[in-house]
Amino acid sequence: MFTRGRIALSVLAVSALTLVGCTDNGDDATTTGTATATATTAAADATDATAEGENAEWVTFTEGFVKAKPAEKDMTGIFGIFTNNSDEDINIVGFTSNLDVPTYELHEVVDGVMQMKPGGFVLPAGEEYELKPGGDHMMLMDYTEPIEAGDTIDIVLEFGDGSTQEVKDLPVRTIASGEESYGADGSLQGHQMGENHGGADESAEMPH
């Protein structure tokens, strides 16, 4: 789908071959064998980097943050702005974090009700895609440990093509009350999924 990774791979392999081939050790056979091994290793490393982050050079996540939560609430949201710098749509289908969170979900808000986002987030080519309270967002769920303002967490984005991208050091901070409505028991009001957490059935408040 993207050609820059393949071009970079070719350049890296050729550069490695040329560098070792210029070494004068008086043994042509040894030089050839070393050059081949080095080029192969370099090519493998480049391939691994592309496979693990094929979209990394195309997708950025700016102004990202995690909403702080106390222990008595079992879920919270992640917000920010994705930018797709490529000329093709990119699909984010999931994510994980460095916390021991049981459930991760991608959400949208429809008619004031939060629900899972069918098909994940599709980032239009060359455009921004905002995650915000009252709109699309990522959710950390069924997590009973506090997530305190001032901390940071790392997340790993999962793309539709199977590649991943790490986003490190997302700040945890408090946002104004009313931007996202949580019930007194920590459940997300109006949340719809396979089962209703906490039995909450009121509509989520929209941003003021």
Residue-wise pLDDT tens digits, 9-51: 333 333 333 333 433 444 544 444 443 333 333 333 333 333 3
pTM over 0.85: no
- CA 146 vs CA 129, 141, 151, 162, 180: distances in Å: 28, 12, 10, 31, 17
pLDDT digits 0-9 by tens, 144-202: 999 999 999 999 999 999 999 999 999 999 975 445 544 444 444 444 443 333 333 33
pLDDT digits 0-9 by tens, 126-141: 999 999 999 999 999 9
Q: Which fold has domain 59-199?
A: Immunoglobulin-like (2.60.40)
Cβ atoms within 10 A of the Cβ of 58, count?
Answer: 21
For residue 181, which of 130, 112, 128, 122 has the smallest C-alpha distance? Answer: 112
The C-alpha atoms of residue 100 and residue 41 are separated, in whole angstroms, by: 35
Q: Is the CB of residue 204 less than 8 Å from the CB of residue 112?
A: yes
The full set of domain ranges for the chain reads 4-45, 59-199
Give the distance between the most distant pair of CA atoms in the chain. Answer: 80
